[in-house]
Chains A and B, each alone.
Chain A
Amino acid sequence: MTTMTDPHQGSFRLSMLIYDSRYRSMTIQIVALIGFLTLIGWLISNTAQNLITLGKEPSFGFMLEPAGYDINQRLLDYDSQDSHLRAALIGLLNTLLVAVMGCLAATVIGVVVGVLRLSKNWIVSRLMAVYVEGFRNVPVLLWIVFAMAILIETLPPPNAFRGENPEATMKLGETVAVTNRGIYIPEPLFSRGIGDAHVFGDTSLRFDVSLDLIALASVFIAGLLISGLINRRANATQNATGVRPTVWYWRLAVVVLPTAILLWVLGCHMGYPELKGFNFKGGTHMRNSLIALWAALSLYTAAFIAEIVRAGILAVSKGQTEAANALGIRPNKTMSLVVLPQALRVIIPPLISNYLNLTKNSSLAIAVGYMDITGTLGGITLNQTGRELETLLMLMLCYLIISLTISGVMNWYNESVKLKER
């Protein structure tokens, strides 16, 4: 049997690398690899050479110099004397913030629109089609700038809230201020708080963790666990005796009471925004750059997600719905228990790439002055230090890591909802 394909040992000639189909593909691949590596090597050495000729050897030392500029939206403490590294970190957190908010909002809107597009109601499905086409077919940069222009031009400046007969007033019982610099909402404060834990000392990566929040979270989670225990006990009693003891008030109490008591002990109260000087002070400030970017990115990406959801639902064979109906399952239960879980398998892979797109599109933030990592590291730092190559490499690395993390997490989720063959 083996005689036909047995290669002639020992009679190898060089030309066989090209003419012998057994070796040819290997040869081509190796040549291509060598060519590719040479090209990369040439690019790197050429860049390095040119930089040295310009007198700019690549170096990352500048990242520890004081940045010198201020950043408006800071999730961690920062001032202009902090290092460029710290500024980059602040920018990175801003990128992550808008990316996470955007992905959540885009998913919610996208699923709703995608389902509604399949609605039997003609007007609803048409309206959704108009939304999808409108957002998909206009570049996202325009939506971002447009959203910002609307916020700036239509909302009142803080000035308008001043005086005896102000042109504008605060909303929701004087607790929320909607201005063309952003929205100020009340924030929880602790008058008897136990302070913050400082992590990483004085380095560029330092951050504070609110001990109040940790305490609250631990008490809350402990409550949930105990409530779970009570439930388990009730189940056991039910299994043993056939009578289920009424425990819902116990379960509620162990979660709510300790948390409420702790809130009271910590002196939790709401801090309301108030017009002081040029701006509103107090409360949480959601800048309009964040709102505009968030809204535009979510609405834009949601249009794509809606199409993916629609396709996913349509991909589930009609027989499934009919079978569910035949079993007497009600239509909305059919949707949530039969159709959507199967549709998820089709939906998730393209959903990942839309999350990645949203994250990368958030780099357009500077168009509305949102200080994301492109604005800090790839913008002001690049510009003030003239380190184009270094900053851009770091920037690319950051986006790469974020993207790989998102795909990693989503792929893991995909594995878990995948059709399991048993």
Chain B
Amino acid sequence: MKKTVFLGALTVAGLAAGASAAATLDDVKARGKLNCGVTTGLVGFAAPDANGHWDGFDVGVCRAVAAAVLGDAEAVEFVPTTGKTRFTALASGEIDMLARNTTWTLSRDVDLKFTFVGVNYYDGQGFMVPKGLGVSSAKELDGATVCIQTGTTTELNLADFFRANNMSYEPVPIETNAEAQQQYLAGACDVYTTDASGLAATRATFEAPADHVLLPEIISKEPLGPLVRHGDNEWGDVVRWTLNALISAEELGITSANIGELGAAAGDNPEVNRILGTEGNLGEMLGLDAGWAKAAIMAGGNYGELFEKNIGENTPIALSRGLNAQWQDGGLIYSPPFR
């Protein structure tokens, strides 16, 4: 009985949400600016440079969406959020989308009511320790003091991991990556744990990165991707397909170097033509103009270019593509077709 009432209420709520969903796309267009939630600063993923210009892999997604919707990759208001504030910021409408190393989980989708539009980085939780500690496996961490960011999947995974392995630990909850770094470097915690990519990015900013190692264990799946509020599917589609356009562009060999040429007139690959708007009306279907994907790709390059420029092997962060290679190369990065 109770359940049916609850379900009924949910359905009504769902209908109401569908009907009254704010048209984020129109709001963004009217505002002329995209409000994009990012980290408070994680070099390689999202951090302002010396001139206050935001840069990074997640920032690249924000800029691509801004370019697709507004035709201007600079028309983004970056809103720094902590692990704790990010969801409130998104749910309350303070930001239009969140691109902040955020893990796609069932409860965030279903209970917190957010739509993850895809995955831009397949990650897992790792541990970083100073070399001098002489630890070579996470199983040796019994009794260690561990720095974690609060409000993350990290703290839940950590509790599960230590519990499952019958080990004890002392959690030191911290709000931002910068504070965690300070405590870790001062030796106030033995271990820093977060997404492995975040660890690599954090380590890259240390004075002596070589003095710290990532332990081999990866204790969780952390598919990180951009997300939007439930209830505005049109806006979700725009963000989803912008991300897919970046991914497809890499797959089809559209780069920032050749995009001018490829986009000038219809070529002999119909999918490239559809993406770049020289054929078909995909842009119109999304409520955008024909050059939307072209603008998105030109904003910072295709998925692979964004990766190489911000976190790839030639950057201090030096992440290899691994799981994040294109599907033809054995990775998990895969975009549904543009048609």
Contacts and interface: CB of A to CB of B under 8 A. Distances in A.
A70 B160 CA distance: 10
B171 A72 contact: yes
B278 interface: no
Contacts of B150: 366, 369, 375, 379-380, 383
A158 B143 CA distance: 12
Interface stretch (A54-62, A103-111, A331-339): A54-62
Contacts of B264: none
Given A157-B188, A279-B143, A385-B111, A80 B17 contact: no
B127 to A, nearest CB: 13
A384 interface: yes
B178 interface: no
A54 B159 contact: no
B16 interface: yes
Interface string B161-201: 01100000111111100000011001111100000000000
A27 B321 CA distance: 74
Q: Majority SS of interface residues in chain A? A: mixed
B13 A57 contact: yes
A52 B151 contact: no
Most buried by B among A71, A81, A380: A380
A334 B83 CA distance: 58
A367 interface: yes
A279 B173 contact: no
A279 B20 CA distance: 55
Interface string B60-90: 0000000000000000000000011001100
B23 interface: no
B323 interface: no
B156 interface: yes
B156 A69 contact: yes
B227 to A, nearest CB: 13
Given A55-B17, A366-B175, A386 B112 contact: yes
Contacts of B155: 69-70, 380
A53 B151 contact: no
Contact of A72 (B91, B144, B158, B170): B170
B143 A369 contact: no
B171 to A, nearest CB: 5
Interface string A381-412: 01111101000000000000000000000000
B113 interface: yes
Contact of A71 (B108, B141, B145, B171): B171
A277 interface: yes
B175 A55 contact: no
A53 B156 contact: no
Contact of B144 (A52, A69, A157, A278): A278
Interface string B214-235: 0000000000000000110000
A334 B3 CA distance: 73
Nearest to A159: B187
A54 B231 contact: yes
B192 to A, nearest CB: 13
Contact of A181 (B108, B133, B145): B145
B10 interface: yes
Given A383-B83, A388-B88, A54 B17 contact: yes
A278 B188 contact: no
A70 B159 contact: yes
B14 interface: yes
B142 interface: yes
B252 interface: no
B9 interface: yes
Contact of A288 (B113, B132, B171, B188): B188
A69 B155 CA distance: 6
Interface string B111-144: 1110000000000000000001100000001111
Contacts of B132: 159
Contacts of B91: 54, 386, 388
A80 B160 contact: yes
A293 B156 CA distance: 26
A152 B186 contact: yes
Most buried by B among A70, A279, A386, A388: A70
A80 B173 contact: no
Contacts of A278: 141, 143-145, 190
A345 B158 CA distance: 53
A81 B162 CA distance: 12
17 contacts: A52-B16, A53-B16, A53-B17, A69-B171, A70-B155, A79-B163, A149-B182, A152-B188, A153-B186, A158-B187, A180-B187, A277-B143, A279-B143, A281-B143, A366-B175, A383-B84, A388-B88
